[in-house]
Each structure stands twice: as structure tokens, then as C-alpha cells.
Amino acid sequence: DHPRWRRPCVNVGVHVGPWFCKFTNEMTRRGRSWRHRRRKGQQRADGARVASLMSRDDSIQLMRWLKKNGFQDTHLLLADFPDTGRGVMATRSLKAGDCIVSLPENLLITTTTVVDSYLGHYIKNWKPHLTPKQVLSLYLIAERSRRQDSFWFPYIQTLPASYTTPSYFSTVEVNTLPPAVQEATLQHRRVLQDSYKSLRTSLHTLEPLFPDWRTVFTFKAYRWAWSTVYTRSVYKRGPGWEFLDPSDPDVYAMAPLLDMLNHSPSVETDTDFNMNSRCYEVTTLTSFRKYGQVFINYDAHDNARLLMEYGFVIPHNPHSVVTFKIDDIVDCLDVDKNSPNNKNLLQKKMDLLSQQNLTRDLSCSMEGLSWRLQTALQVLCMDHSGISDWRSTLGQTPDNPAHWPEVQLVAQRLLNKRLEQHKPLITVAEEVLDPRSSLISVFILLLLRENLHILEHSLKELEMHNGDKLEK
């Protein structure tokens, strides 16, 4: 899934007053040269408003270290932006097709890096076999503990000290999440705990290298390292070592500087390892202005997934959805589910949906009900004759609406029921979460309010088109 907000376009009414006329008259009177110099000065001022991080020692050391080890400057600067925090600024205009980052292979941390290091012998003999994520996590902990003695120190010291991913959520924060996101959060935490429990059985073998291994390789340190790999790694296929657990693919690489590029769904990038140059390259397919932030695209993820995998959400995310389970729809059907005939018919419908892979990814968004949700609703509202000829039934035209009114009624019931469940969640969250002291709380509240907006909008759209055929 590795590389990995587009705000909706709106027309904004601008009041044109006397100040504007005075300003345009002065611009015209001063001439082209003056306007050109003014634009240049404004660009510099815009850049100055962004607090550059290059004055920080760790940022300076990182860039010097990168260049010393083969990285060629591509007119990028580490900077702090008011809307996203730390990111990367363009010091010149970038156009589509420009390679914005070309990171030499020797500056990537992969399983090969670890196997070729002082940990290699121990990794090969670890029981049970380690996964690639465990290998990279172990190495990050080991290298962080070595401080300035580590080759990777200039990179590691720029990494966050903690994250806003599920393993860092408080119990109060977990309890305010929507049920599906809460379930994913708990699963995320179980995977982390099981990973550490498995790895811990052979940690004592590292005592020759780390006499204080008990205080170095703690769960807290592992949570940090595992979260670093989980949120910041890029895709690079490894050799697939025979001594590693094959259940987890060897496709992870830590990429200094590249992992500081923030995500935007409105940009396009091409990211891959160039076998000829032996560099990991990022090519932008979107233009960026001078002194603007440079983004990459982590993929078309909704906010729930962004929060789970990367620890942030984006206002007005065009990919955001509210998801439903197939059982949520079944619960909204107005039938006697204990009747033998209805039970048999419902089982046929469920079998059909399973065969067509339509029991998951059922959702609504700001565009309304997804095609998958609409289709599942249609199938579950069919009678015996409809199921017998389900392909024709699904292909009905507006002139032959048949069961469309029932489909819409069940859809409205489904959305209303979710709204009844969701509104109390927001009320509780607003009472117990403190967005002034916790960024995680900010993200959870944004997610909850966005879901409410999607549900209300989808219901309104459905009611507006009541009696019409749902969009296919």
C-alpha cells in the first residue's frame, strides 16, 4: 500500500470596495517593472511566512549527511507549514515530469541493510523467524540507542518521538471512535502486541551486543520503531530472505527526506526504485509553485484509513466514506426473518452477494450511495422471481421501477439508523476529548463530524430523489 486534501472548488463572492480601486490604480500607475519587483518581493515574503526548519541543527545535519553520501540537491528545503506542520518546500518552481527526489540505494534502510550489519548473524538465527517489519524495527531501536556512533543518527534524530497512530490512542480516545474504526484500532494494537511478544522470546541473544538489552528493547521502544516503519516506509521489493517469516512480504524501506513529503489526494506522483541509477525516485506529475509545499500521493485513502495507517486525517477528503456491513442492511429489512420461506430466500440472496463479492466495501460518500451498496440493497429487496432472474432485475430501467421504492425505503432506514447511533458518539466525544492538548483528539473529532456530514448529505440526496431510480 505504500507510495503510498483536495478541497472542493467553490465560488467565493468578493466585495470590491474603494480600497481595491485605489490598489489597482496604483498598480497600473507604477508600471510593469515595479509590479514585477513587487511580485518577487511578495514571493519572498510568502516563503518567509513559513518557518524554515533549516535553522534547526538536526535538519542541517540531515541535509549535510545526505549530500555527503551521494544525495543530489533537487531544490527542496525542510520547512514548517501552518496547516500540515513539518514538510518539504520547493525553492524553485517545479513542473510535471520533474524528479523531485532521487535517493541513492545506500541511503535506504532495508532488510539487506540489516542483514549486512552487526545484527545479521542474530537475525538469521532468530526463533521464531522474524518478519521484515520486525527486522527493521529491531534495527531502528538498536541504531537509536547507539546515538552519534550510528551512521543513521542524522536521520534517526529527525524522526518523531511518538506518533498519532492507534497504538498511541488513550482508552478514552478509543471509546469515542466509530464502531468499525474502533474495531480496526483494537486489531492494530493486537498485531503490535503479538509482534513484540513473538520477538521478545529471543531478545536475550543480543546480550553480547547490548548488555543492557532489557532497557533498550522495551515495548515502548518497539512501539515507536514499529510505528515508524508502519507509517514512513516506502515500497521496495527485497530479496525475500529464506530465514524471514514469509507471511509478511519483504517490501519495506526507510527513506530519509522522502518520508517528510506530506500527502495530498489532489496531486499525482510516480514513485519507484530506478534499477539503472540505483536510486529511489519520486517524479511529480503535478506542478508546484516556488516556496510552496511539495506533496506526494499516498493513494486514494479515506480518512479512517489515513488515521489507522498514517496517524492523520484531512479536512474535506474527497475519498472519505462511511462504511456498512451486510448485516446492517439485513437488520433494516421489513420482513419476518424467522419465517422458513423468508430464511431460505434470505440465504439465497446472501449466497448470491457472496458469489459476486458484494458483502464488503459497502459505503456512502458525499456523492451518495456507492454502486456496491446500491446493488446489495437491490439484491436484498428482491422477491423469489427477482432472485431467479437477478441479472435482469438489476438492469431494470426507470420505466420499470419494480422494487425501487422498497430499496429506497430500506436505504433511508439504514442511514437513519446509523445517524441515531452516530450522533451520541459525537456528543460524548465533544465532552471527553480535549483537542487543545491532543492532536489525536483533533483527528477523531474531525473524523466523527465528517462522517455525520456524509450521512446527513446522503440521506438528504436520497429523500430529494425519492421515487427515482438510484444511480447505477
pLDDT in tens, 188-206: 999 999 999 999 999 999 9
d(CA 406, CA 334) in angstroms, rounded, equals 9
Grid coordinates given for 310: 498514517
d(CA 295, CA 283) in angstroms, rounded, equals 11
Closest to 352 in 3D by CA, of 336, 323, 376, 325 = 376
Number of other residues whose CB lies within 10 A of the CB of residue 245: 17
pLDDT of residue 84: 81
- CB-based burial label for 145 (10 Å; 0-12, 13-18, 19+): middle
In angstroms, what CA-CA distances link 82 with 52, 138, 225? 11, 34, 27
Ordered DSSP codes for 281-299? EEEESS-B-TTSBPEE---
Tell me: pLDDT of 116 over 70. Answer: yes
Tell me: pLDDT of 397 over 50. Answer: no
pLDDT of residue 72: 87
Tell me: pLDDT of 457 over 70. Answer: yes
Tell me: pLDDT of 12 over 50. Answer: no
- CB-based burial label for 455 (10 Å; 0-12, 13-18, 19+): buried
Task: Indicate the residue type of 238.
Answer: G
pLDDT of residue 33: 52
- Residue 424's pLDDT band (boundaries 50, 70, 90)? very high
Asked which of 95-104, 289-298, 398-407 is least confident by mean pLDDT, the reply is: 398-407
d(CA 292, CA 77) in angstroms, rounded, equals 10
Closest to 163 in 3D by CA, of 192, 138, 200 = 192
pLDDT of residue 54: 64
Task: For the chain, give the percent of residues with pLDDT over 70.
Answer: 84
Grid coordinates given for 105: 540505494
